[in-house]
């Protein structure tokens, strides 16, 4: 599946298993949706379900789950440790693969509008989808609980919902719908029944009170276990990893003479987050994330699959799917670092060119005047061309990896196969043409950025210069790949033709460096 969105709705029900099973059934009934996880907590009185799928399928499943929850859950009878404002309390959409945060924002708006219109439930957009900056955080919406929200909705125009009525639904309350990056719900349980201790520690570690970056925290009583808990959301585990949050809570607990009883993860967690914790607690030296068996297997199989499953020459399918190498920065960097042949220098050169063009587009948009007089520098035309170049260069990232796979496949043909020499020559030609196209497009990008530089605002001049340096690096890097491939190309007629094109690009590169 090329496009994946994750949805993690939280429902105000953690004690009635039949209700949660009914919600799970509604989600599973939507074609193209895959349930990954379900969690219930009786002390929080909350259920968290995690499912993924194509955007359209996830959109439908999220609405149907909210519809079902409105008929199954009565918020007027709800008593639990977790703050909430709705039967379906929050519905976040998370981009996973092949979709952007902007796509998820649009998805959140569609679902929110439908919940408000069809279910008569007030909906507030939050996180990246928030219509107002003060609604980005759920804490603002939950301030004062249901009573506080009801009062603000009827008396304060600024507190009107984004969709639906101006009053709470009699049983389902309100719903927050949003878009956000992945987060980790992580709780540390304490050997104490003193809720004030948990609340004090939560205040110390949460970012809003001057604590750890990207950490939200609150104290919760676990009545069924006679413990208290510091319940946290880690909104960016790269900035504050799990082990950092754990150690902060442990230290604060020890200062108060309280021991840690254990910790728990609610829902799913990225593998990288667990690797970080392992590195810290085990003190592993010079650890490489690709030493994880499953990670290495995925990377190697993804690189080898095209060689095993390819059709006729020139039709090698990428195991990762079109554009998947570019679906995330971290994923691409891991793939480059993996110790496998692709993606390699050609893909990296294409990425550098695409980044250069993207910086040019940004500069055009920031530097464009409100109105242009006749004969003025045309930022809009420049933006359109740079956008087109960026898209072409982005496509060449995957094309370069695919071309190299074709070369490897050709060389693996038996030496007795009469088609082998032609297969090698053809695949080498393709593997040479791709970086040559990268160099040509990057040359145009560099020329446009040079022309744009005198017309740009001082505030973004440095960004444009970074783009220019990237474009020049893309040209040189791509040409290096071209020259390497030419050394093994036996078609002399083709070599002469390519040499002419290489010379033209090389001359342009020299001139660009002089400017």
Instruction: Tell me: pLDDT of 188 over 60.
Output: yes
Sheet with 215-222, side-by-side order of all strands:
215-222, 227-234, 184-190, 260-266
Cβ atoms of 87 and 73 closer than 8 Å: yes
Helix/strand/coil for 73: coil
Phi, psi of 360, deg, nearest 5: -65, -40
- CA atoms of 508 and 216, how far apart (whole Å): 53
Instruction: Tell me: pLDDT of 276 over 80.
Output: yes
Number of helices (H), then strands (E), in the chain:
15, 11
Exposure on the CB side of residue 82, measured as CA atoms within 13 A:
27
Contacts (Cβ under 8 Å, ≥6 apart) of 210: none
Helix/strand/coil for 316: coil
Instruction: Tell me: pLDDT of 296 over 80.
Output: no
Instruction: Tell me: pLDDT of 312 over 70.
Output: no
Specify the pLDDT at position 248.
96
Answer yes or no: 82 catalytic. Answer: yes
Inter-helix orientation angle 55-72/17-28, to 10°: 150
Retrieve residue 360's tokens.
């040019």
pLDDT tens readout for residues 207-265: 989 999 999 999 999 988 999 999 999 988 888 999 999 999 999 999 999 999 999 99
Reference 224, options 89, 78, 81; nearest CA is 81
Place of tokens 């891991």: 334
**Is the peptide bond between 37 and the residue preceding it cis, with omega within 30 degrees of 0?**
no
- CA atoms of 40 and 234, how far apart (whole Å): 20
Ramachandran assignment for 424, one of left (phi > 0), alpha (psi -120 to 50 degrees), beta (any other): alpha
Specify the pLDDT at position 253.
96
Phi, psi of 292, deg, nearest 5: -70, 125
pLDDT tens readout for residues 38-79: 988 888 889 999 999 999 999 999 999 999 999 999 988 877
Retrieve residue 73's tokens.
């859950």
Instruction: Tell me: pLDDT of 422 over 60.
Output: yes
Reference 398, options 366, 371, 434; nearest CA is 434
Ramachandran assignment for 129, one of left (phi > 0), alpha (psi -120 to 50 degrees), beta (any other): alpha
- CA atoms of 128 and 92, how far apart (whole Å): 10
- CA atoms of 10 and 282, how far apart (whole Å): 34
Cβ atoms of 207 and 220 closer than 8 Å: no
* 387-424 as b/e: b if 16+ CB within 10 A: eebbebbbbbbbbbbbbbbbbbbbeeeeeeeeeeeebb
Per the residue annotation, which of 44, 78, 82, 169 is the catalytic one? 82
- CA atoms of 225 and 202, how far apart (whole Å): 19
For residue 174, CA distances in Å to 162, 167, 300, 482 come to 11, 9, 47, 60
Retrieve residue 299's tokens.
């990377």
Instruction: Tell me: pLDDT of 461 over 90.
Output: no
DSSP 224: G
Place of tokens 């607990």: 253
Angle at 443 between CA 438 and CA 447, to 5 degrees: 150
Specify the pLDDT at position 454.
86
Inter-helix orientation angle 461-486/492-514, to 10°: 160
What domains appear along the chain, each with residue ranges and CATH number?
A: 4-179 (3.30.990.10), 184-284 (3.30.70.670), 294-514 (1.20.120.680)
Average pLDDT, the chain: 84
For residue 84, CA distances in Å to 167, 334, 364 come to 16, 39, 44
pLDDT tens readout for residues 350-403: 999 999 999 999 988 886 554 454 555 677 788 888 998 998 898 888 888 888
């Amino acid at each position: 599946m090329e496009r994946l969105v994750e949805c993690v709705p939280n429902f105000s029900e953690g004690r009635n298993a039949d209700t949660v099973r009914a919600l799970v059934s509604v989600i599973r009934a939507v074609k193209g949706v895959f349930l990954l996880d379900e969690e219930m907590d009786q002390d929080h009185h909350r259920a968290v379900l995690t499912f993924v799928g194509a955007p359209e399928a996830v959109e439908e499943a999220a609405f149907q789950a909210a519809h079902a929850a409105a008929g199954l859950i009565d918020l007027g009878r709800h008593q639990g440790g977790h703050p909430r404002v709705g039967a379906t309390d929050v519905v976040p959409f998370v981009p996973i693969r092949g979709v952007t945060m902007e796509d998820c924002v649009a998805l959140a708006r569609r679902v929110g509008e439908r919940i408000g219109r069809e279910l008569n439930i007030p909906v507030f957009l939050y996180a990246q989808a928030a219509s107002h900056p003060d609604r980005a955080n759920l804490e603002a919406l939950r301030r004062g609980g249901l009573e506080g929200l009801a009062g603000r909705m009827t008396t304060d125009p600024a507190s009107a919902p984004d969709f639906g009525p101006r009053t709470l639904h009699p049983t389902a309350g309100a719903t927050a719908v949003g878009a956000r990056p992945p987060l980790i719900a992580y709780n540390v349980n304490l050997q104490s029944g003193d809720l004030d201790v948990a609340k004090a520690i939560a205040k110390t570690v949460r970012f809003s009170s001057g604590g750890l970056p990207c950490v939200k925290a609150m104290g919760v009583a676990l009545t069924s276990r006679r413990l208290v808990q510091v319940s946290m959301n880690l909104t960016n585990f790269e900035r504050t990893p799990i082990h950092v949050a754990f150690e902060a809570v442990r230290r604060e607990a020890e200062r108060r003479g309280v021991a840690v009883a254990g910790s728990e993860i609610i829902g799913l967690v990225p593998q990288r987050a667990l690797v970080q914790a392992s590195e810290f607690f085990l003190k592993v030296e010079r650890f490489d994330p690709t030493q994880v068996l499953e990670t290495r297997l995925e990377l190697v199989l993804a690189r080898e699959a095209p060689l095993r499953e390819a059709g006729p020459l020139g039709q090698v399918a990428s195991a990762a799917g079109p554009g998947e190498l570019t679906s995330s920065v971290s994923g691409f960097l891991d793939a480059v670092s993996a110790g496998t042949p692709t993606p390699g220098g050609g893909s990296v050169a294409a990425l550098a060119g695409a980044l250069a063009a993207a910086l040019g587009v940004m500069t055009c948009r920031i530097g464009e005047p409100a109105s242009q007089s006749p004969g003025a520098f045309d930022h809009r035309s420049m933006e359109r061309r740079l956008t087109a170049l960026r898209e072409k260069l982005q496509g060449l990232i995957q094309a370069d990896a695919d071309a190299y796979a074709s070369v490897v496949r050709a060389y693996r043909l038996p030496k007795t196969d009469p088609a082998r020499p032609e297969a090698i020559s053809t695949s080498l030609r393709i593997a040479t043409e791709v970086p040559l196209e990268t160099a040509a497009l990057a040359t145009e990008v560099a020329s446009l950025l040079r022309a744009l530089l005198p017309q740009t605002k001082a505030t973004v001049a440095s960004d444009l210069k970074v783009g220019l340096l990237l474009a020049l690096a893309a040209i040189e890097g791509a040409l290096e790949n071209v020259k390497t491939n030419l050394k093994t190309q036996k078609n002399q007629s083709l070599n002469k033709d390519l040499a002419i094109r290489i010379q033209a690009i090389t001359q342009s590169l020299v001139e660009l460096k002089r400017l």
